[in-house]
Amino acid sequence: MDFDAYARTAVALVNTPLTEPDDLTRLFSPGSWEHDHLTERDFGVFRRTQRRLRAVFSLGAAGQDADAVAELNRLLDAFPVRPRISGHDTTDWHMHVTSRGASVSAEYLAGAVWGLSVWVCEFGSARFGVCADPRCARAYLDTSSNNSRRFCSERCATRAHVAAHRARKRASALAG
Ligand SMILES: [Zn+2]
Ligand SMILES: [Zn+2]
């Protein structure tokens, strides 16, 4: 299993604003198996679990490793992995991570939680990040060589850098 790709589905979910069921189309493109099988119930599960996954990122970013792991273990209990080969039209065999007939949320979350759990074991929860720009606060996985990333993207890093630069200039203008 490509745990890295699964971990990224957790990031995608945390960063997707969910206020109404239609918002899930940002995660599942029309025509996909997921899109065609989504229910109202899935939306509720995604919303609740999104909060828990965000907490895992916050705990990891704050250095609360054991707490992040404890929450992941609870999530592994709630969304167990049970691999199965599936083919929606028998010409496209591929893996599903939950049992036959599982809901879209069960399938998606089993993969996402599994991916994040393997990430913790491989790299440590300090690699979980929350963007340092409070207006953004998107979650990310820090793949930098020295675990030094503070922002979700170049865009947020540049914006913060420019703002800090302007603040310094203002301060020195006042001092001068
Ligand atoms: Zn499938
Ligand atoms: Zn950001």
Number of structural domains found in the chain: 1
**Residues bordering ligand 1, an ion, CB closer than 5 Å:** 33, 86
Distance in Å, CA 110 to ligand 2 centroid: 26
Percent of the chain past pLDDT 70, that is, above it, reads 99
pLDDT at 1: 67
pLDDT digits (tens, 9 = 90+) for 128-155: 999 999 899 999 999 999 999 999 999 9
CATH at 74: 1.10.3300.10
Return mean pLDDT, the chain.
93
Check whether 89 has a pLDDT greater than 80. Answer: no
Check whether 92 has a pLDDT greater than 90. Answer: no
19-25: average pLDDT: 94
Check whether 176 has a pLDDT greater than 80. Answer: no
Distance in Å, CA 4 to ligand 1 centroid: 18
* Residue numbers of the domain that contains 145: 3-175
115-126: average pLDDT: 95
Distance in Å, CA 41 to ligand 1 centroid: 20
d(CA 63, CA 65): 5
Ligand approaching nearest to the C-alpha of 137: 2
**DSSP track, 7-55:** HHHHHHHHTS--SSGGGGGGTS-TTSHHHHH--HHHHHHHHHHHHHHHH
Check whether 20 has a pLDDT greater than 70. Answer: yes
